[in-house]
Amino acid sequence: SILPRTRNVTMVSLFRRPASLASALFTFRRVAAFSATTGSPAAAFACQNFGSRRNFSSKLMAGSLEIAQFPCLSDNYGYLIHDATTGETAAIDTPDATAYKQELEKRGWTLTHILNTHHHNDHVGGNSELKTDGVKVYGPANDGNIPGMTNPLSDSDTLSFGGAEARVIDVGGHTLGHIAFYFPEQKTAFVGDSLFSLGCGRMFEGTAPQFWSSLKRLRDLPDDTTIYCAHEYTESNARYAMSVEPGNELLVKRVEEIKTKRSRGEPTVPSILGEEKLTNPFLRGDISDEIRKNVGATSDDDDATIFLKIRQGKDNFRG
């Protein structure tokens, strides 16, 4: 379900254990239906016909910001955020300079900022070509080489963009210094490769305690936060999620929706954090007995060790 910001709705905390999984799902569907009647991003996004993934490009609203989403490379998503009042436009990572230039030209926007989440080439590969005079490059202060970086950032730093303000969250684990950009007023987070729809990034550089702490920081954000991750990995993630928590009826329902979307060539990104809390195994190791059992966790394992076993299970999964 795509459920960005809604108005005048009191949303229960879906991370707290609901009276039943069915009641939690009903809450999601009811709020989603409200969104569809109020002209929210949920309706705008869901009603577009994207056709094949290689050809789609979408534009959503998050408060005062416009968000353009488009495919890059083999499975990356590119994002541009735009403030119409100030004319400022930011690239969230730069997988492919050509795709970004085409999207900027298509929308008549001029790039003013680059916001990098981490140093991997499929996130910074377009920096050098896109950084023209006046473009500021924000990125993690302690995460390897960020080409052209002008403004290094650390956990809890803030940056102003147009009429919005973003808070930097340390989400190290995939890489040591990985950061996410959270826009509280817009209820939107750009999380790079830290958290995926039904998954999380591979642990290339960090440690299990570090990565688990990072995911908990994201999990602590409000349920109705829209999560923009960097890759279309959801079908693969769904297969693994079903192998470790097949008894989660919300997960079963969500997986069927994912299959339907992908069969039509539609993206499964963005997702809603509240739904991730209820279905993403990497956020549930400390609350799901079924997951712990299926990954071989013992009563002596702490939460970080349980997370590590879930991550190792996905690394070796061939389903």
DSSP H or E stretch at residue 107: helix 97-107
Query: Hey, what amino acid is at 227?
Result: I
Instruction: Please pick, among 82, 119, 174, 178, the residue that the annotation labels catalytic.
Output: 174
Judge whether 193 counts as a catalytic residue: yes
Catalytic-labelled residue, pool 82, 113, 119, 120: 120
Q: Does 123 qualify as catalytic in the annotation?
A: yes
Tokens 């990954």 sit at which residue? 295
178 classed as catalytic: no
Cβ-contact 115, 91 below 8 angstroms: yes
Distance set, CA 236 to CA 12, 196, 292 (Å): 30, 11, 20
Amino acid sitting at position 316: N
Task: State the distance between the two ends of the chain, measured CA to CA, in whole angstroms.
Answer: 24
Residue 65 phi, psi (nearest 5): -100, 140
Distance CA 196, CA 255 (A): 14
Is 113 tagged catalytic? no
> From CA 58, how far away is CA 67, in angstroms rounded?
8
Which is the catalytic residue, given 83, 93, 122, 224? 122
Q: Please tell me which residue in 82, 123, 143, 178 is annotated as part of the active site.
A: 123
Residue 82 known to be catalytic: no
Tokens of 111: 């790039």
Q: Which amino acid is at 136?
A: K
Catalytic: which of 96, 170, 193, 224? 193
Asked about 231 being catalytic, the answer comes back as yes
Q: Looking at the annotation, which residues are catalytic?
A: 118, 120, 122-123, 174, 193, 231
